[in-house]
Amino acid sequence: MNRSDFERACREQNAEADKRRSDARKDSAPCVVVTMFAFGGIPYCQTHGVMGPCPYGTQRGSK
C-alpha cells in the first residue's frame, strides 16, 4: 500500500465513522460509554463520539 492509498483509506474510514456517529445521533442509539483514563477518567461515548455527558443517547434509569 503506498502513501496516497493509505491516506485515502484513512479518509474513507473517517467518513464512515462520521456517518455512523451522525446516524447514531439521529436514531438515539444507546450510548457505549468508556472511561478515558488518559484524560483524567472522564466518560467518552463511543457511539456518538462525545466526551463528557452525552446528550444524544437514550437515557435510561435516570431521574
Residues that bind Zn ion (CB under 5 A): 31, 45, 47-48, 54, 56-57
Nearest approach, Cβ of 11 to Zn ion (angstroms)? 24
Minimum CB distance to Zn ion smaller for 9 or for 34: 34
Minimum CB distance to Zn ion smaller for 7 or for 22: 22
- Give yes or no for a contact between 60 and 33, defined as CB atoms under 8 angstroms apart: no
- Scan for cell 438515539, then name that residue: 28
Helix (H) or strand (E) holding 44: strand 42-45
Minimum CB distance to Zn ion smaller for 2 or for 58: 58
